Structure 1
Amino acid sequence: MRIRRIRNLFIILLYITIAFVVTFYVLSLKYPHASAFSYETCKATYDMTDDLFETLNGEVPEGATNVAAASEITHSAPPGKASHIPVLMYHYVVPEKYNVEPNNARINLEAFEEGIKYLHDEGYHTATLKELERYVNGEIQLPEKTVVLTFDDGYQNNVVYAYPVLKKYGFHASIFIVGTKLKDHKQKFVPTAKTTISRKEMKATRDVFEYHSHTYNLHYKRLVQCAEYYAAGKDSTRFTHDIDIMKSKTGINTPYFAYPYGEYDPKMVYDLKMNGYRMAFTVRPGYVHPGDDPMYLPRMNVTSTTTVKHLLNLPDVPTQPIKSK
């Protein structure tokens, strides 16, 4: 009975909140230059709703990982074992001569191979996500020189250019693929085009790549709250359906997830957990440690101008995760 009363109270508060947010959302669109008050009120309302959701659903806020306890585990790592693990993030890999839109999501093939060769020459082990999960949970130790390689979105150049390099050095990596970008038939590859991976290519590259979810069709920006653009995954009604369709349409049934644009909120995390996801990645820079919250793991973005060597030798300073609303 008590649970029912709490649930009913939550539903009432939710309806009130929705009405409140919609009102101010409409006002902020109609009066964009005179809506500072409505914007701040809208943001505060969303924050309140998220906090209420966490409280009623038993969700632990991000950053609640016991930093002191994690530090104790970290410092107890025996000689030769990893006290922390860098998770490197790549997107688009292309030879420099074809890199017609240089940005932080694109890396020249030459720089990519140089970084991978450095890892090989330095004796690094590339862990699977299952190994990383067990490491975070304190179930296993990993070699001191361990790194996790991840790619986002599912570009065809990952299998054309990155795959041979990784295979050459005996390395393992993960691709977080957007479900709608997974093609039924292999596309004609054009180095300057944003073609994406096919089912045949995915199957043929599983000796190097493991494939996980980056949403089925929510990797784009849209107006979600307070007249601001956010990753579409923050629309909770769409996100719940997207989780189901990702599994049924692509066959990628995985417990590992990468947040689109690194954006998330308590409802997304709750839905992921309720659907069997056990580990998720942000785009917040930093190292992964035993005892970290597995639903908010950091990654380091690798670019043509930021070397792998530099990223692997940054100070290991515990940072309080940023709570995204």
Structure 2
Amino acid sequence: MKRFSLLAMVIPALIGSCTADSKKQVSQNKKDSTEIQVTDSVNRKAADNKTILARREVPVLCYHQIRNNIASDSKRAHDDIIAPDKFREHIKMLADSGYHTIQPDQLYNYLVYGAKLPDKPIIISFDDTDEDQFTVGNTTLKKYGFKGVYFIMTVSIGRKGRISYMTKAQIKQLADEGNTIASHTYDHKNFAQFTEEDWKTQIDEPTRKLEEITGKKIEYFAYPYGVYKSSTLHKLKEHGFKAAFILSTARDEQYPLLTIRRIIDPGRYTAKNLYYSINKSFNKTKS
């Protein structure tokens, strides 16, 4: 009888131990999977430009201001403004439709090394540092377990006024929570008009400032207005960038990693419009 009682005590303990070990293994598997994605570049040969261009494009969305329109907004500005309620509706649609947000490092490893991505991957990006991207954008993404990419224009950090901009503390928080902080120049100067001095003021100094704020390397860039100049794309690599993002124009065949396409989610779109736009714009490959 005593022997039976002893077994009765030991067996549940063993089962509990196995369950704990199983949970620990699941957690480790997730960690290992993440590490495989990050270290793929060590184990595989980098793809050439033709291969990169032939890979199926990953949808990348671009947002600017998340607020309601006001009377002084120009007609052109309406494309860059989306109402908070509509933004929340669009992000909910993405979650309900099975999309999974990824970060630029994952996209880079996929394009260059063929690393695996989750089902229905998507990048959600924000330009210009507006504070509503933190208060509305980040809050909404977190609700669905999403992460974003924030392209920061450093001249605006901490500015307050009719439009308020993110503070250093908010940018640091975004980075600490696993979002990507990236560069969008110092003051939104057109990349196609860069002078030699601009590589210091518009590129190197903003990079240093963002690295000081986040404690992380800044390796991704978005062109103001989506405009680039083919003859100077090579200099972005020389200044430490792994990839850069345009808007909806064609990619450069010599520098596909430095001309990754995005589309703007206009404020006039319904969630259904956005869904169709994503599929029309990105569900193709280039051979």
TM-score in same-fold range (> 0.5): yes
Matched, 1:300 2:254: no
Q: Which moved more, 1:106-115 or 1:96-105?
A: 96-105
Q: Radius of gyration: which is bigger?
A: 2
- Please, which runs of 5 or more residues in structure 2 have no aligned partner? 1-47
Q: Secondary structure at the match of 2:139?
A: helix
C-alpha deviation, 1:237, in angstroms: 1.2
**Which has more helix, going by share of residues?**
2
Aligned to 2:136: 161
- Report the CA distance shift for 1:286/1:149 in structure 2 as closer, same or farther (over 3 A): farther
1:174, distance to aligned residue in structure 2 (A)? 0.4
Equivalent residues of 1:234, 1:268 under 8 A apart:
no
Tell me, what secondary structure is at the counterpart of 1:147? strand
Once the two structures are TM-superposed, the CA of residue 285 in structure 1 deviates from its matched residue by 5.2
2:63 aligns to what? 90
SS at match of 2:163: coil
What does residue 239 of structure 2 align with? Answer: 275
Question: What is residue 194 of structure 2 aligned with on the other side?
Answer: 235
CA distance 1:309–1:180, shift in 2 (3 Å): same
Q: Contact 1:182/1:250 (CA < 8 Å) preserved in 2?
A: no
Aligned-residue offset at 1:211: 0.9
Matched, 1:127 2:87: no
Q: Which residue of 2 aligns with 1:210?
A: 180
In 2, are the aligned partners of 1:283 and 1:299 still within 8 Å (CA)?
A: yes
Aligned residues: 225
Aligned match of 1:179: 154
* 2:91 corresponding residue in structure 1: 116
What's the counterpart of residue 30 of structure 2?
A: none
Work out whether residues 138 and 148 of structure 2, in 8 Å CA contact, stay in contact via their aligned partners in 1. Answer: no
| Distance change (3 Å), C-alpha of 1:194 and 1:313 | same
Offset from partner CA, 1:221-247 (integer Å, 9 cap, x none):
xxxxxxxxxx16622313221222113
1:89 is paired with a residue of what secondary structure? Answer: strand
Cα RMSD over matched residues?
A: 2.8
Kept after mapping to 2: 8 A contact 1:262/1:281: yes
CA 70–244 in structure 1, closer or farther in 2 if over 3 Å, else same: closer
Cα displacement string for residues 27-56 of structure 1 (whole angstroms, at most 9, x for unaligned residues):
xxxxxxxxxxxxxxxxxxxxxxxxxxxxxx
Amino acid at match of 1:273: K
- Structure-2 change in CA distance of 1:88 and 1:97 (3 Å): closer
| Structure in which a larger fraction of residues adopt strand | 1
Report the residue type matching 1:308 in the other structure: L
> How much does 1:176 deviate?
0.4
Map of 2:223 onto structure 1: 259
Structure 1 residue ranges (4+ consecutive) displaced by more than 6 angstroms after TM superposition: none
% identical equivalent positions: 25
Secondary structure of 2:221's aligned partner: strand
> Judging changes above 3 Å, is the alpha-carbon distance between structure 1 residues 247 and 317 closer, same or farther for their aligned structure 2 residues?
closer
The alignment partner of 1:280 has SS state of strand
Alignment correspondent of 1:309: 275
Whether the 8 Å contact between 1:154 and 1:196 is mirrored in structure 2 is yes
Letter in 1 for 2:141: L
